[in-house]
Amino acid sequence: MNLLIALAYLVAAVLFILGLRQLSSPKGARNGNFTAAAGMVIALGATIPLLHFTRAGLVIIGIGVVIGAVVGTFGARMVKMTAIPQMVALFNGVGGGAAALVAVSELLTFGAHPALSQALPSVFSIVIGSISFAGSMIAFAKLQELMTGTPITYPGQQLVNGLIGVAILGFVIAVLAVASVPFSFIALMVLALVLGVAFVLPIGGADMPVVISLLNAFTGLAVAASGFTLNNFALIVAGTLVGASGSLLTKLMSDAMGRSLGNVLFGAFGQVKTGPAAAAGKEGRSVRAGSAEDLATLLAYSRRVIIVPGYGLAVAQAQHAVRELAELLEKRGVEVSYAIHPVAGRMPGHMNVLLAEANVPYEQLKEMDEINDEFKDADVALVVGANDVVNPAARSSPGSPIYGMPILNADQAKNIVFMKRSMRPGFAGIDNDLLYDPKTIMFFGDAKDSLTKLVNAVKAA
Amino acid sequence: MNNELLNEFTFFILAIFVGIEVISKVPTILHTPLMSGTNAIHGIILVGAIWIAAGANSPLTIALGLVAVILATTNVVGGFVVTDRMLEMFKGRQAAKPPTSK
């Protein structure tokens, strides 16, 4: 490798590191993305002189880049803000798939008995890249609601997954020790794809963000392994950076949910172990529903209102309506703030993105730790399309699957207003006692319609 | 173990530490954009995809190369664009646009 190219790769690596650092602070985040993109352009440009192109090679690269660029741009531009998590899953999956294919293609050129230093990273890349590809597609399907978001489990599932794992290990040994022939590494890829599917199926939709983050780290490692196969410095450094930072991010995300990563992955989260206490008295409990006028009066004559936005607000595209309501209330002298749970929406930070889109001022967005003590002084906690993040079961019932998750103290407010479409449980599939609390008033309907009705009623109040 | 492999291994280990260190103080609100941004960075696999596609000369290698380049380009382009779209929202207020409701 000549000196200039090596230097260009070094510059690219530095830009990736700087980009990551800027991405982790609110001020420079957007620049960080540009910095990393600049690193990418430099790394790609520096690679061109290293290659000898066949005519066919030039053509497929041209076609491939155009198709990929069009699909990527359209996908990223057209997707609704609420669907961003599954889009990230998709873009992550295709990266993993590409890494696996690069490794397959290299193994084809190595012949039947490659050096261990090349064969080992190749099989690693095939296995991890394929798991990431298939797993991401299932995560996408779950979040896009192409398939059920509830965990899919069956008896002996762990055993089946274990056997697939053993079979993969067998083929890895076959490729490395016996002969690296297309049959064995194609079989390896197929098995890894199956494992990717099997691994994500038992994980509930609410946990998909953590899974996507983990698979993101996987893809990074697969890319780094491809770098060892190709002896390419840029791939090794960039892939490893993503593998390492992605692993840490995955841990931070499961911490934010108050659970261990192992519990997220293998806990079969949605299998509700309904404790006897929760099952009893579930029937026949009554809820109190209010009219828009009742609620408007309550809100307009409050001193402090805390809004708890959730995914329901996002799907109903109600972020503008909620901001309008908040502004109306503020004009009447009501103090309004938003309580953002770390996992509100379907990804940490998701809700901030949506509310920022609706021009909600930063100062009103409060993180959980900051606002939890203020609920007891609030006249109204207005819960819009959220459920699990205010479910007291997380505090009080050890049998609940969300037990231990930090929640917003909405139950301590003097009044609680729930805007929900129905009494249906939240994404985690658990009943919420707060709905039956005497302090709680339900306001049924689509979040956007309900908020619009409320806005009109507050204007009249 | 030859020299080049040893070098590569050194970079690998150092990159692990840098990767962990550099994002250790990320606030919760930036988790999603950061995930998306790192997702774009592993689109560097496009370098590998172009690498294998460049020398393609049989139907099999052509097919593999083409698919790999499409997937990797989608990763890199989609990744950066969607991250930018998310972060665009964050600049929100300081542009001092008065909150006019329509």
Quote the pLDDT of residue A9.
Answer: 95
Residues A251 and A323 in one domain: no
- Both tokens of residue A397? 């019932």
Which residues in chain A are closer than 8 Å to B73, comparing Cβ atoms? 64-65, 67-69, 72
Which entry of A294, A369, A388, A449 is annotated as an active-site residue?
Answer: A388
Residue A131 touches partner B, C-beta closer than 8 Å? no
Domain contains A242: yes
Domain contains A253: yes
Domain contains A6: no
B60–A108 C-beta distance less than 8 A: yes
DSSP A338-365: EEE-TT-TTSTTHHHHHHHHTT--GGGE
Domain containing residue A378 = 288-460
Are A47 and B51 in contact, with CB atoms under 8 Å apart? yes
The alpha-carbon gap from B93 to the nearest alpha carbon of chain A, in Å, equals 6
Quote the pLDDT of residue A284.
Answer: 52
Domain contains A282: no
DSSP B76-99: HHHHHHHHHHHHHHHHGGGG----
Quote the pLDDT of residue A275.
Answer: 38
Reported confidence tier of residue A427, pLDDT bands at 50, 70, 90: low
Pick the range with the lowest mean pLDDT from A38-47, A220-229, A287-296, A379-388. Answer: A287-296
Residues A82 and A115 in one domain: yes
A237–B42 C-beta distance less than 8 A: no
Residues A241 and A320 in one domain: no
Quick one: B9 exposed, middle or buried, by C-beta within 10 A (0-12, 13-18, 19+)? middle
B90–A352 C-beta distance less than 8 A: yes
The alpha-carbon gap from B2 to the nearest alpha carbon of chain A, in Å, equals 10
CATH at A334: 3.40.50.1220
Place of tokens 């970079």: B11
Phi, psi of A340 (to 5 degrees): -105, 115
- Residue window 225-254, chain A: list those with CB within 8 Å of chain B: 226-228, 230-249, 252-253
The alpha-carbon gap from B16 to the nearest alpha carbon of chain A, in Å, equals 5
Identity of the residue numbered A294: D
Domain finish residue from A266, A296, A314? A266
Residue B10 touches partner A, C-beta closer than 8 Å? no
Which residues in chain B are closer than 8 Å to A245, comparing Cβ atoms? 19-20, 22-23, 34, 38
- Both tokens of residue A155? 């008896």
Q: How many structural domains are present in chain A? A: 2
Domain contains A272: no
Quote the pLDDT of residue A285.
Answer: 66
Residues A218 and A303 in one domain: no
Instruction: Classify residue B50 by its DSSP letter.
Output: H
Distant-in-sequence, close-in-space partners of A209: CB < 8 Å, separation ≥ 6: A85, A253, A343, A346, A347, A348, B32
Residues A386 and A432 in one domain: yes
ipTM computed for the complex: 0.89
Residues A159 and A300 in one domain: no
Taking alpha carbons only, the member of A309, A323, A340 closest to residue A454 is A323
Residues A73 and A110 in one domain: yes
Residues A110 and A223 in one domain: yes
- Both tokens of residue B66? 């083409």
Domain finish residue from A203, A232, A266? A266
* Averaged pLDDT, A81-86: 84
Domain contains A25: no
- Both tokens of residue A416? 């609680």
Higher pLDDT, A1 or A292: A292
Q: Kindly report the average pLDDT of chain A as a whole number.
A: 87
Distant-in-sequence, close-in-space partners of A353: CB < 8 Å, separation ≥ 6: A81, A84, B32, B33, B86, B89, B90
| Of B42, B76, B91, Cβ closest to residue A30 | B91
Pick the range with the lowest mean pLDDT from A61-70, A93-102, A381-390. Answer: A381-390
Which residues in chain B are closer than 8 Å to A226, comparing Cβ atoms? 45, 48
Taking alpha carbons only, the member of A139, A374, A40, A89 closest to residue B32 is A89
Q: Is residue A388 annotated as a catalytic residue, yes or no?
A: yes
Residues A163 and A205 in one domain: yes
Residues A262 and A299 in one domain: no
CA distance B84 to A440: 40
Residue A342 touches partner B, C-beta closer than 8 Å? yes
Which regions of A32-109 does DSSP assign to beta strands (E)? none
The alpha-carbon gap from B102 to the nearest alpha carbon of chain A, in Å, equals 9
Distant-in-sequence, close-in-space partners of A297: CB < 8 Å, separation ≥ 6: A461
Quote the pLDDT of residue A221.
Answer: 97
* Averaged pLDDT, B48-67: 94
Taking alpha carbons only, the member of A200, A179, A84, A70 closest to residue A131 is A200
Domain contains A395: yes
A342–B28 C-beta distance less than 8 A: yes
B91–A21 C-beta distance less than 8 A: no
Residues A324 and A209 in one domain: no
Question: Is the model's pTM score more than 0.80?
Answer: no
Residues A74 and A118 in one domain: yes
Reported confidence tier of residue A354, pLDDT bands at 50, 70, 90: confident
Domain contains A419: yes
The count of other CB atoms within 10 Å of the CB of residue A438 is 7
CA distance B100 to B96: 11
User: What proportion of chain A, given as a percentage, has pLDDT over 70?
Assistant: 94
